[in-house]
Amino acid sequence: MRRFALAISAVAALLLGLEKVGLYQFVPGGDTGFQFAPLVSRAGYSLHHENKAGDLISWVQLTVRTNGSQSPSIATLDWTGAPLDIASHPRGDGRHDISISKKPNPPAGEPFVWRAGVPLQIVEGQGAAFEIEDWAVFPSNQAADNLRLAARRRNWTMISWALLTLAAIGTVLAALKEKEQIEPVTARALISAILNDIDGRDEADTKRLRTFLKKVLIEDVPVGQALTHVGLSEAEGWLAKLARFQFQARATSLFQARVENVVTELTRYSERLIANSE
């Protein structure tokens, strides 16, 4: 799970970085910030835009569906800009293309200045009622925008947030993994490292030596119990006592030798540090 999150976070950083620096555009086209909403007071819609560049010099095309075969009649309401012409072009499937521009000239209209923050309200006239199904905005100074591109941008925004979340999780997991790998330097940690470097006559002897020393030095087990644990019982007889003494003496000697070697190494590094600071 950790590796998966780290891999996903790497992909997320790559994708978001490519789009951020402009090397790749995941949703082509211009974002005009065009939106529409039904009017509350009467039948019609309020159109507005949130173009990042400010005012739009563009014309608009709406695809509307009507209840019957009659063409819709659409007019502007409370429009404070230049006079606009609205033309309807039937498509033959119960839908009509509505162009809003200064002088409609299908298939392209003449752009008009649409001030930022100024709503463009369109209302039903004497014709059939209509419902907006699609839209397209054609600015003069940037790529065209439409409903399909806007939907893709919304989806990519959601994906971006998800990727950012995964990237954050991956960063946290990486930090936790790094923290786990860095063991604090303590006496017990140093002793554990030294024990792992002690070797006996063979694999079985090495295991007995390390186990005995671990019991005594790290787990605070009495020497007698530690010897019994590795198979040297407290049976009567001088041979058994001699075997316990020889094993304890050999383990102690090996440990002391490794400790002296570590101290020598540490001293050498310390002297190097002092010499480099002069």
Half-sphere exposure of 66 (CA within 13 A, CB side): 24
At 21 the pLDDT is: 42
Provide the pLDDT for residue 61: 92
Say what the pLDDT of residue 232 is.
Answer: 83
pLDDT at position 11 is 57
| 21-53 confidence digits (pLDDT tens) | 444 455 566 788 888 888 887 888 888 888 777
Which of 48, 120, 111 lies closest to 79 in space, CA to CA?
Answer: 120
**Which residue ranges make up each domain of the chain?**
2-24+155-181, 35-138, 187-277
> What is the per-residue pLDDT for 81?
82
Helix axes 187-195, 238-277, angle to 10 degrees: 120
Mean pLDDT by groups of 10 residues along the chain of 278 residues:
56 55 55 86 85 83 80 81 85 84 75 87 76 90 86 76 67 64 65 85 90 87 86 76 86 85 75 65
Distances (CA, A) of 229 to 17, 92, 196, 212: 59, 94, 19, 8
